């Protein structure tokens, strides 16, 4: 199949970028989207153009490194699928495809389609953990955890930190990401000791990074490759209000 | 100037060695710990857990990863689970049994003392991860759930859906994040280690390139820990992440660290086959599929192009069940892989290029119903369909083996320190615990054992006893290493030829897969050894890297990694050629029984092959560490 | 387990700064004020529906409200305050949201967001304008009062002479432009609330997995009910059912 690509190119953080158009000829429908970009880059390189930079690593939908807004939708048209697992058979011969980086003031573009997502790391560093050191922990079966709660925790924990929720949100809000982490620990006995402190600190950092507020559009849930439910946002909201009104001052 | 290897293996009864050893290790005074700076390269299970633990102990930790966040490390992709000798299922498991299974599974090519310690600390790992909030699967009663995995006869595998690696890594990442937040770990993302700095014979720092700005920097420390994973991408196509590379360990090797057993590479039998030349990586389908799927190929070559559903039962060859009636479809990874290759070599492979075999669920669906199969494997079936556009509920899956894990790595002693004082190597990057073949669900166990429970003790002994002066990074050794790196970067940019780094990588990978893949022979290996240097020559004469070194340059990153694979590949082939036996993941066609089973040569090859860089990539020196088995007596693995 | 119980409460200053200064606090204030205003709207709608009973009932009701004195002013003040809080937090949140995405996408797509959610700012703004008109119209009698001067005072059964609010309504809505304008205004209110009701519950964390699907339907249903309740009065006047 033959496609026309409009790809965002940007030299670095400081230089303004622009779209450039590429012809993608003889693309196999069995290629993944990133393999298609590999091929296009390889050909461009042969013509003396620097290859387009995009983040990717595991290419099996779990590391969360790949991104790309494809025709207006983060991770492209297939639901519950990361860009690296999206295949070209989801497109038609002759399609125009617009490829853009995640757009958010908290995710500055570093080059072409690569953005800086270290804001997520900083949110995590504020409270996305249980404050225990290595060693001296009780036996794994010492505290029973109901299967239902463990499953709810696991649903939330499956977040891959890709940032598609931010990219899809019209407010560039990261509430699904923060909510997922808060919810995971909320459903586990190990998370209780720091429950208030965690939610307050993580939300505070979320705001400090310049992410927007949640308008409950639910676009994040729709694009999340791991299908994380906006339930986690409601849970975080509840916990935040409880902590802010009656919780600790930590 | 030959090197004598001292494995520092403790003496005395196996079960007490680790305790005795820990007692004999020198400790660092708690007040002095913050004065010791430790560099950790890599943030997978091993690097992430080690960074966090060292920082908790009070060391000044500097951690590096080439990805945009420490949470991306490829440990995240492990699906199946993590082994631990908890015996929660009351089915007769014990530390000794896990030790025995691992030694046997590794085809008697690992150190007993290391493996026993691994089995011992395995139980603490589960406790640690539960306390961190890792959401392991649970039973209705609230206890941890286990499954049997990879042909083990006991249920000792802990799991979190099909995302165990992810959850364990995020656990380590959360511990690491906590320390970064506390200011005890300085995290350097998007930084690639390009060289090791040796001062006065000790590893004292690294040279890195900031992948965003292109800046070459040095970091000085009191000890260096490499946790940089495996080298499977030397085959170009593997289940590794695209970025996984050998550069850090290879650079350390060129500074004097011995590379051990590079020929031990694990091929995983259940991957989605290659669909075309564009393919950039291979996707693993969990081994658990073999619990219900039946593997077959057409009995006759004439049928390979047919719709599998039209091939009648009598014309199918369920070859694993035929050859290995006792274990059937559940034979270990290496055996299943080689059998698939034999079928394809006979011309009975299916799918593009005849490189695939069927994994058929129709009998299982008939037996237990579609909903049960969907419950067990729904996610995997969806993933398969996303990639191949075929539904495994309707059409048999096609699978083919792919490179998955590297058992070989830098040589380390019982303290996980390489032959270079101060250079510690943990996780997949070292060679230590899996021998010639790794059992399913043991990689996660080893990574976390090294990072949480072993290295943090043993590195203290080095720091307490090394007696080295502080370095600042201004020493001539640092300046020389920076100059080397700058020169190498400049020379990659200066070639200005025609071919992209990827095209060389692809060619190298194909050569390696054809000549040094699932089955190897002297002729093929010799051919590879002849061709790799000339390919390397072409690389340095015809490489095309556009752009400059002072900015984000993906082609330059790739070129540097491919350049190191080009050199490493030769060592891998040489090791494979030298090891004239078949063991674990290393199968030499000359050394097999009449029925095609691997034949070890314990008399000549019960040793670790540790290779020393002599200044010429093509002329490494082989140093042998004999393996002594006092507890377990090597026998022939049989799965018939 | 719960640390909140065992640890000291934060000072009131901290509580205020968190509620006022964080995205979640601002959203919560918007939600709480929104819910209060929704509650008022339902009461208001119930009042209007008395138009169907007749002039006596409606004018009695209106007179009752008018004669509340201090309470009336307290309620009015409360409504203004709630509205200001609602608008203030909306502006605060909107400004933050705009700043969060300085560069727009070249291809911008909505995937699942409802029409109501996408138009909150616009519908809210127009509804505010509409409410302003409504107050100027029926409360202060400043605009749209053509024909009001001819309406005599109404004599209740108990003999009391009161403003004939019933007649004012009928006269107003016999003007098709005003009737349709009001229907449009409450239509936008309905649209605003089709998202607002469920959104405020989500923001306050009331929704869990069990309730969410129900409230996802209940929110728009309540909004539709409110719209119907408000719109039916001008409509009934326009088609001559209420004379």
Instruction: Kindly report the CATH number assigned to the domain that includes residue C135.
Output: 1.20.1300
Residues of C within 8 A of A235 (CB-CB) are 205, 208
pLDDT at C7 over 50: no
What is the average pLDDT across B92-100? 97
Q: How far apart are alpha carbons C47 and C58 in whole angstroms?
A: 8
Task: Give pLDDT, residue C108.
Answer: 87
Task: Give pLDDT, residue C9.
Answer: 57
Interface touch B386/A57, C-beta < 8 Å: no
Its sign, for the CA torsion A213, A218, A221, A222, is negative
Q: How far apart are alpha carbons C34 and C26 in whole angstroms?
A: 12
Interface touch A231/C97, C-beta < 8 Å: no
Question: Does residue A242 share a domain with residue A139?
Answer: yes
Task: Report yes or no: B342 and B295 within 8 Å, Cβ to Cβ.
Answer: no
Strands in B37-190 per DSSP E? 37-41, 60-64, 82-83, 146-147, 157-158, 185-188
Q: How far apart are alpha carbons C112 and A230 in whole angstroms?
A: 13
pLDDT at B173 over 70: yes
Q: Is B385 on the interface with A (CB under 8 A)?
A: no
CA dihedral (B313, B315, B318, B322) in degrees, to 10, reads: 110
Closest-CA residue to C174 (of C150, C157, C191, C142): C150
Angle at A24 (CA atoms; ends A23, A29), nearest 5 degrees: 155
* B554: confidence class by pLDDT, cuts 50, 70, 90: very high
Question: Does residue A235 share a domain with residue A122?
Answer: yes
Question: What is the least distance, in Å, from the CA of C193 to any CA of chain A?
Answer: 13
Question: Does residue A142 share a domain with residue A48?
Answer: no
Give every CB contact of residue A239 below 8 A, 6+ residues apart in sequence. Answer: A182, A186, A195, A196, A199, C205
What is the average pLDDT across B32-45? 97
The mean-pLDDT minimum among A211-220, B229-238, B333-342, B468-477 falls in B333-342
CA dihedral (A71, A72, A76, A77) in degrees, to 10, reads: -80
The mean-pLDDT minimum among A208-212, B56-60, B370-374, C44-48 falls in B370-374
B322 included as an active-site residue: no
Question: Does residue A235 share a domain with residue A143?
Answer: yes
Of A223, A231, A247, the CB nearest to C212: A231
What is the average pLDDT across C186-205? 96
Residue bearing the bigger pLDDT, B145 or C20: B145
Question: Does residue A203 share a domain with residue A150?
Answer: yes
| Residue C112 maps to a domain | no
What is the average pLDDT across A191-207? 96
ipTM: 0.98
What is the per-residue pLDDT across A90-122, written as a single tens digit (0 to 9) for each? 999 999 999 999 999 999 999 999 999 999 999
User: For B558, phi and psi rounded to 5 degrees?
Assistant: -60, -45
Task: Give pLDDT, residue B596.
Answer: 81
Q: Across-strand partners of B193?
A: B208
**How do B397-406 and B357-360 pair as beta strands?**
antiparallel
* Long-range own/partner contacts, residues B501-506 (CB < 8 A, 24 or more apart): B501/B543, B501/B545, B501/B555, B501/B558, B501/B559, B501/B561, B501/B562, B502/A38, B502/A42, B502/B558, B502/B562, B503/A42, B504/B535, B504/B538, B504/B539, B504/B543, B504/B562, B504/B566, B505/B236, B505/B558, B505/B562, B505/B565, B506/B236
Q: What CATH number is given for B268-403 in this structure?
A: 3.90.700.10
Question: What is the least distance, in Å, from the CA of A52 to any CA of chain C?
Answer: 18
What is the average pLDDT across B372-384? 89
Domain residue ranges of chain B, discontinuous segments joined by +: 14-86+95-133+158-266+405-465, 268-403, 476-604
With contact defined as 3+ CB pairs under 8 Å, the chains touching C are: A
What is the average pLDDT across B168-189? 98
User: For B404, phi and psi rounded to 5 degrees?
Assistant: -130, -45
Task: Report yes or no: B380 and B399 within 8 Å, Cβ to Cβ.
Answer: no
Q: Which of A110, A143, A177 is the last residue of a domain?
A: A110
Task: Report yes or no: B180 and B43 within 8 Å, Cβ to Cβ.
Answer: no
Residue of chain A minimizing CA distance to C212: A231
Most C CBs within 10 Å, among A179, A241, A242, A250, to test the C interface:
A241
| Residue C154 maps to a domain | yes
Interface touch C26/A213, C-beta < 8 Å: yes
Task: Give pLDDT, residue C6.
Answer: 41
* A37: confidence class by pLDDT, cuts 50, 70, 90: very high
So what CATH class is B476-604? mainly alpha
| Residue C107 maps to a domain | no
Its sign, for the CA torsion B446, B451, B453, B456, is positive
Task: Give pLDDT, residue C5.
Answer: 40
| Residue C6 maps to a domain | no
* B620: confidence class by pLDDT, cuts 50, 70, 90: very high
Strands in chain A per DSSP E? 3-9, 18-24, 69-70, 73-74, 96-100, 109-111, 114-115
Q: How many CB atoms lie within 10 A of CB C203?
A: 29
What is the average pLDDT across B598-614? 97
Q: How far apart are alpha carbons A69 and A71 in whole angstroms?
A: 6
Task: Give pLDDT, residue C2.
Answer: 38
What is the domain-level CATH number for residue A66? 3.10.20.30
Tell me how many domains chain A contains.
Answer: 2
Task: Give pLDDT, residue C1.
Answer: 34
Q: Which of A110, A143, A167 is the last residue of a domain?
A: A110
Question: Does residue A139 share a domain with residue A83?
Answer: no
Q: Which of A91, A110, A129 is the last residue of a domain?
A: A110
Average pLDDT, chain B: 95
What is the per-residue pLDDT across B416-465, written as a single tens digit (0 to 9) for each? 999 999 999 999 999 999 999 999 899 999 999 999 999 999 999 999 99
Residue of chain B minimizing CA distance to A116: B68
With contact defined as 3+ CB pairs under 8 Å, the chains touching B are: A
Tell me how many domains chain C contains.
Answer: 1
pLDDT at C216 over 90: no
What is the per-residue pLDDT across B190-214, written as a single tens digit (0 to 9) for each? 999 999 999 999 999 999 999 999 9
Question: What is the least distance, in Å, from the CA of B383 to any CA of chain A?
Answer: 8
Most B CBs within 10 Å, among A1, A11, A125, A208, to test the B interface:
A125
Q: Which domain covers residue A126, as residue numbers?
A: 118-246
Active-site annotation holder among B71, B156, B294, B333:
B333
Interface touch C206/A238, C-beta < 8 Å: yes
Task: Report the percent of chain C where pLDDT is more than 70.
Answer: 96
What is the average pLDDT across B331-352? 91
What is the per-residue pLDDT across C105-142, written as a single tens digit (0 to 9) for each? 999 899 999 999 999 999 999 999 999 999 999 999 99
Q: Which domain covers residue C32, as residue numbers?
A: 16-98+117-238
Q: How many CB atoms lie within 10 A of CB C135?
A: 13
Question: Does residue A124 share a domain with residue A105?
Answer: no
Task: Give pLDDT, residue B640.
Answer: 75
Specify whether domain B14-86+95-133+158-266+405-465 bears CATH 3.50.50.60. yes
What is the per-residue pLDDT across A1-15, written as a single tens digit (0 to 9) for each? 999 999 999 999 999
Question: Does residue A224 share a domain with residue A147?
Answer: yes
| Residue C60 maps to a domain | yes
Question: What is the least distance, in Å, from the CA of A37 to any CA of chain C?
Answer: 19
| Residue C135 maps to a domain | yes
Residues of A within 8 A of B160 (CB-CB) are 154, 157
Residues of A within 8 A of B174 (CB-CB) are 124, 128-130
Angle at B45 (CA atoms; ends B44, B50), nearest 5 degrees: 100
Residues of C within 8 A of A71 (CB-CB) are 107, 109
pLDDT at A233 over 50: yes
Average pLDDT, chain A: 96
What is the average pLDDT across B353-365? 95
* B597: confidence class by pLDDT, cuts 50, 70, 90: confident
Q: How far apart are alpha carbons A56 and A63 in whole angstroms?
A: 8
pLDDT at B168 over 60: yes
Q: How far apart are alpha carbons C23 and C29 in whole angstroms?
A: 10
What is the domain-level CATH number for residue A214? 1.10.1060.10
Q: 20-59 in A: which are within 8 Å (CB) of C?
A: none
Angle at A169 (CA atoms; ends A166, A173), nearest 5 degrees: 55
**How do B157-158 and B216-220 pair as beta strands?**
unpaired
Question: Does residue A18 share a domain with residue A96?
Answer: yes
H-helix or E-strand spanning residue C113: none
**Residue B4 in tokens:** 């004598």
Interface touch C101/A243, C-beta < 8 Å: no
Of A31, A85, A141, the CB nearest to B143: A141
Question: What is the least distance, in Å, from the CA of C224 to any CA of chain A?
Answer: 19
Interface touch C27/A193, C-beta < 8 Å: no
pLDDT at B471 over 60: yes
Interface touch A157/B124, C-beta < 8 Å: no
Residues of C within 8 A of A177 (CB-CB) are none
Chains A and C touch (3+ CB pairs under 8 A): yes
Of B124, B127, B552, the CB nearest to A114: B552
Chains C and B touch (3+ CB pairs under 8 A): no
Question: Does residue A216 share a domain with residue A136?
Answer: yes
Interface touch A118/B281, C-beta < 8 Å: no
Question: Does residue A154 share a domain with residue A104?
Answer: no
């Amino acid at each position: 199949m033959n496609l026309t690509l409009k790809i965002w190119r940007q030299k670095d953080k400081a230089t303004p970028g622009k779209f450039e158009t590429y012809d993608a000829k003889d693309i196999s429908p069995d290629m993944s989207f990133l393999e298609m970009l590999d091929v296009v880059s390889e050909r461009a390189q042969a013509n003396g153009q620097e290859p387009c930079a995009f983040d990717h690593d595991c290419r099996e939908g779990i590391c969360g490194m790949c991104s790309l807004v494809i025709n207006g939708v983060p991770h492209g048209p297939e639901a519950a699928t990361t860009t690296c697992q999206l295949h070209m058979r989801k497109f038609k011969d002759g399609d125009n495809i617009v490829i853009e980086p995640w757009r958010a003031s908290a995710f500055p573009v570093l080059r072409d389609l690569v953005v800086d997502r270290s804001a997520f790391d900083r949110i995590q560093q504020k409270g996305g953990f249980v404050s225990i050191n290595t060693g001296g922990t009780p036996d794994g079966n010492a505290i029973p955890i109901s299967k239902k709660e463990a499953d709810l925790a696991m649903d939330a924990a499956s977040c891959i930190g890709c940032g598609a929720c931010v990219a899809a949100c019209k407010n560039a809000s990261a509430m699904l990401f923060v909510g997922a982490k808060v919810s995971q620990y909320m459903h586990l006995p190990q998370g209780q000791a720091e429950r208030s402190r965690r939610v307050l600190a993580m939300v505070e950092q979320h705001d400090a990074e310049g992410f927007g507020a949640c308008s409950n559009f639910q676009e994040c849930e729709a694009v999340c490759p791991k299908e994380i439910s906006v339930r986690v946002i409601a849970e975080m909201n509840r916990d935040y209000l409880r902590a802010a009104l009656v919780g600790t001052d930590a | 100037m030959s090197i004598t290897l001292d494995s520092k293996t403790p003496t005395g009864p196996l079960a007490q060695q680790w305790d005795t050893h820990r007692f004999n290790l020198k400790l660092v005074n708690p007040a002095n710990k913050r004065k010791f700076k430790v560099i950790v390269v890599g943030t997978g299970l091993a690097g992430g857990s080690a960074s966090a633990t060292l920082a908790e102990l009070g060391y000044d930790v500097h951690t590096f990863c080439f990805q945009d966040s420490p949470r991306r490390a490829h440990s995240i992709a492990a699906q199946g689970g993590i082994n631990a000798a908890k015996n929660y299922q009351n089915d007769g498991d014990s530390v000794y049994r896990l030790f025995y299974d691992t030694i046997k599974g590794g085809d008697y090519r690992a150190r007993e003392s290391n493996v026993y310690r691994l089995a011992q600390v395995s139980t603490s790992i589960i406790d640690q991860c539960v306390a961190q909030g890792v959401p392991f699967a649970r039973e209705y009663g609230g206890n941890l759930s286990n499954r049997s995995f990879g042909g083990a006869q006991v249920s000792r595998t802990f799991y979190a859906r099909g995302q165990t690696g992810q959850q364990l890594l995020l656990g380590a990442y959360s511990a690491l994040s906590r320390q970064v937040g506390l200011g005890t770990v300085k995290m350097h993302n998007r930084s690639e280690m390009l060289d090791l700095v040796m001062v006065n014979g000790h590893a004292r720092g690294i040279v890195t390139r900031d992948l965003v700005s292109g800046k070459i920097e040095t970091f000085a420390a009191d000890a260096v820990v490499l946790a940089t994973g495996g080298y499977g991408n030397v085959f170009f196509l593997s289940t590794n992440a695209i970025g996984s590379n050998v550069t850090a360990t290879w650079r350390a090797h060129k500074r004097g660290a011995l590379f051990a057993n590079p020929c031990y590479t694990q091929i995983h039998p259940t991957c989605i086959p290659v669909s075309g030349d564009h393919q950039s990586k291979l996707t693993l389908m969990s081994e658990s599929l073999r619990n219900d799927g039946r593997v077959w190929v057409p009995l006759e070559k004439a049928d390979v192009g047919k719709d599998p559903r039209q091939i009648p039962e009598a014309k199918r060859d369920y070859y694993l069940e035929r050859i290995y009636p006792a274990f059937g479809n559940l034979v270990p990874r290496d055996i299943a892989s080689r059998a698939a290759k034999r079928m394809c070599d006979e011309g009975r492979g299916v799918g593009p290029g005849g490189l695939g075999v069927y994994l058929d669920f129709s009998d299982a669906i008939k037996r237990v119903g579609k909903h049960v199969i969907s419950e067990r494997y729904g996610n995997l079936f969806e993933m398969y369909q996303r990639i191949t556009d075929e539904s495994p509920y309707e059409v048999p899956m096609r699978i083919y083996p792919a490179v998955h894990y590297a058992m070989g790595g830098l040589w380390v002693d019982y303290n996980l320190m390489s032959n270079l004082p101060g250079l510690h190597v943990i996780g997949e990057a070292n060679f230590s615990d899996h021998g010639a073949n790794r059992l399913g669900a043991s990689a996660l166990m080893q990574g976390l054992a090294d990072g949480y429970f072993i290295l943090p003790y043993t590195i203290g002994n080095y720091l307490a006893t090394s007696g080295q002066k502080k370095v600042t990074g201004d020493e001539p050794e640092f300046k020389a290493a920076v100059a080397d790196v700058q020169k190498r970067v400049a020379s990659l940019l200066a070639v200005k030829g025609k071919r992209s780094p990827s095209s060389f990588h692809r060619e190298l990978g194909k050569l390696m897969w054809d000549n040094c893949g699932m089955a190897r022979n002297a002729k093929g290996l010799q051919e590879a050894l002849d061709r790799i240097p000339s390919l390397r020559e072409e690389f340095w004469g015809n490489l095309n890297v556009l752009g400059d070194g002072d900015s984000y340059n993906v082609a330059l990153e790739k070129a540097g990694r491919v350049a190191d694979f080009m050199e490493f590949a030769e060592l891998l082939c040489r090791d494979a050629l030298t090891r004239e036996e078949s063991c674990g993941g290393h199968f030499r066609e000359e050394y097999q029984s009449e029925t095609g089973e691997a034949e070890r040569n314990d008399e000549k090859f019960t040793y670790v092959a540790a290779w020393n860089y002599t200044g010429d990539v093509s002329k490494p020196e082989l140093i042998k560490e004999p393996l002594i088995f006092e507890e377990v007596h090597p026998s022939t693995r049989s799965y018939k | 387990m719960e640390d909140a119980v065992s640890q000291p409460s934060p000072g009131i200053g901290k509580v205020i700064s968190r509620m006022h200064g964080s995205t979640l606090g601002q959203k919560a204030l918007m939600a709480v004020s929104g819910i209060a205003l929704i509650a008022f709207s339902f009461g208001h709608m119930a009042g209007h529906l008395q138009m169907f009973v007749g002039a006596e009932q409606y004018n009695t009701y209106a007179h009752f409200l008018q004669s509340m004195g201090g309470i009336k002013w307290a309620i009015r003040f409360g409504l203004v305050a709630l509205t200001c809080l609602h608008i203030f937090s909306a502006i605060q949140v909107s400004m933050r949201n705009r700043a969060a995405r300085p560069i727009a996408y070249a291809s911008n797509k909505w995937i699942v967001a409802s029409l109501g959610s996408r138009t909150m700012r616009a519908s809210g703004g127009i509804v505010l304008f509409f409410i302003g008109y409504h107050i100027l119209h029926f409360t202060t009698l400043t605009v749209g009062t053509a024909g009001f001067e001819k309406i005599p005072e109404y004599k209740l059964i108990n003999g009391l002479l009161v403003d004939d609010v019933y007649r004012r309504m009928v006269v107003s809505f016999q003007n098709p432009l005003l009737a349709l304008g009001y229907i449009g205004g409450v239509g936008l209110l309905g649209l605003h609330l089709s998202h607002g009701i469920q959104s405020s519950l989500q923001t306050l964390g009331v929704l869990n997995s069990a309730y969410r699907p129900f409230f996802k339907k209940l929110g728009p249903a309540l909004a539709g009910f409110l719209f119907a309740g408000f719109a039916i009065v001008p409509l009934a006047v326009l088609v001559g059912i209420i004379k």
